[in-house]
Structure 1
Amino acid sequence: MPQGLDRLRGPERAGGALVALPIAWIVLVCVIDVLAPSHIHLGPLLVAAPAITPSFGGPRTVGLVAALAVVAQTVIGVLRDPGELLSANHQAQILALVLVGASLVVFCVLRERRAKELEQVRYVSEAAQRVVLPPLPRRLGPLRTASLYLAAEAEAQIGGDLYAAARTASGTRLLVGDVRGKGMTAVSDAALLLGAFRVAAHRRTGLDELVAHLDRSVCWDLEMGETGPYDETFITATVLEIPDRDGRVRMVSCGHPPPVVLREGRPTTMSAARPAPPLGLGQLADPSYHVEGFPFEPGDLLLLYTDGVTEARDPAGTFYPLTERITGWTESDCDAFVGRFRRDLLRHVGGRLDDDAVMIAIECPEDSAAGSPTMR
């Protein structure tokens, strides 16, 4: 059984102690009603016991409490009118308790069935995400990495944000991107691009050739799909190559937010001088993919992210100022940085994002060669 489905029984088990409350209420009402003067009738208050039980109990617990309420109402009628059949008033109250109890049991059954369906959907969604978008491995050759995916909706574990990494004979290639749009179309486009990258990253010798192949793959999918080749569907992306021994990152930017290098608490935005259009628009722009570079020295952190980070708003509508917020952060460990970043971003937005957000931190090992201090 999936772990998520097993968690459904948690609230019912936890409500075992709380069932004493409606039972105590039934006993209290029963005793007071029997001892009260004949013109006072507290029996209708018994309906409160089964009414509150669904908040912590399942169908069996609700049925048990409802049955106890019916028994209590019967006892009240017998004790208040000894030697006689139950009065019409008591019979009506008993019938009302039976109807309310049965309705609540049916409600709980339907609620649990719906909850199991939703939990199964969540389980399948999480499994699909692990297949389509698994976390980056903690080690990529000499590099150490940490990845974070924050979904805007708790029930939607997969979106249009994407990332992937592939090892080659001489280094590591990385992709981070964001599909325009939401829903299953965005998920399909993201899965297509991730598959194309994972297949071609090992085969394409040049970074520009790899990006051109990714653009053709996205364009081909648009031509074969329902949207048409020139509909407003595209993917912003940054493709990078980090050699094992060079100390200099090579990059092709396709309309995606630029990487940031954090060095001794000072962030530097590595904006591309000649960015290419987003993937999927290559047939319109006929781009030439220009490979640029920047240094990545020992002790540096390379940060890749999607616009869900920089466009995250606080309650006043202010965007999250990434470079301003991380200035002075001296974490050289990528896991520690990602953990602090997650807390800071969620604090900025008040705990809830309006868009999916991805953050990837890559740590340059101390034994890597130093790179050139200028952009190429």
Structure 2
Amino acid sequence: MNLNYFLFLFLATIGTGISYGQYEFSGYVNTTQWEGEVYLSVVEDYRKVSGVYPEQIIHKVYPDSSGYFKFSGNNLPEENRIYRIHVDSCNESDQTANHFNGHCPNSREIFFVANNKDSLQLPFSFDNEMFCKVVSGNEKAKAFLKIDSLKNDMRFAFGTYRSEANRKINTKKWFKTLQHYGELLNEPLAELYIYSYISDRRNELHTYYLQDIKTSSYYNELLGRLKQNYSESPYTKQYEAEIMSDQFLVNAERRSGIPWWVYVVSCVALVSILGNFYFFGKYKKLKNDIPAVQELLSSQEQKVLDLILKDKSNKEIAAAMFVSVSTVKTHINNLYKKLKVSSRAEAKALFEK
């Protein structure tokens, strides 16, 4: 009986370990250059890959005297996510001002793909360089390092000759190179990392992206891969919303010849006009109903309204009516409801001639 009981506990323990997993992310930092905590973040908004955001940080540890640090636990998502480990030079007193507003002046970070069952090491490379090497059983963990290396090659190619001709040649070449490389990595999250870069309005590739999205099937195919592998993840929902919006804008421009930004401005203007019509109609109707509505006001509420129309403050109204300020506030809330307004300005607008 006791043997069966212990056997049950043993199997349950194994089952629990298999079900929930146990992650372990460890590595080294150069303590002669970096002091203080090492941070672990989960990045579920691929537009916030670069930078430090307080809502992303899930853990922090202090390295030992050799620079070794370790994050471990079993509370991460079971499917792959994008993670960041970083250090920076912020002092404790500067953290509220600088630490969570992008980067401190000096920081080092590394991005990787992992899940709750992964073990990952970040050992020193040559000359005690940190965050340059990933050792993991999850091959996809290294995808971001490979992409960053390719992006550095691209920047070098752009910087060699700064002519317009060189820019055009390299834009198309590196756009396709990055996109194709993402497909070869067989990890949609790595493709999203590339997509967030090539579709960023701040870099050279964005112009070509706007041309490519008009005809290429790649973007819908990427959406299909995301839905297949990460159907319920925030990445998929974010990408689907973005790509549908961009495709609508560029295709509308292609059909009509009108730039996409004109549609945006037009939509804003239309919403503004409709809003004005709505509020104008609302106030016109309320003005027509004022005599009937005023009959619903109590004598005290009517006095309060008269004083509001004379620009009296709550304190002045209370003094004039010999009541407390809280009583005045109660009367104001009641008359707002009866007049169907939400502020003094709206109430006064009803009685303007």
Query: For this structure pair, what is the TM-score category when the shorter chain's length is used for normalisation?
Result: under 0.3
TM-score normalised per structure 1: 0.22
The structure with more helix, counted as a fraction of residues: 2
Structure showing greater relative contact order (alpha-carbon pairs closer than 8 Å, 6 or more residues apart): 1
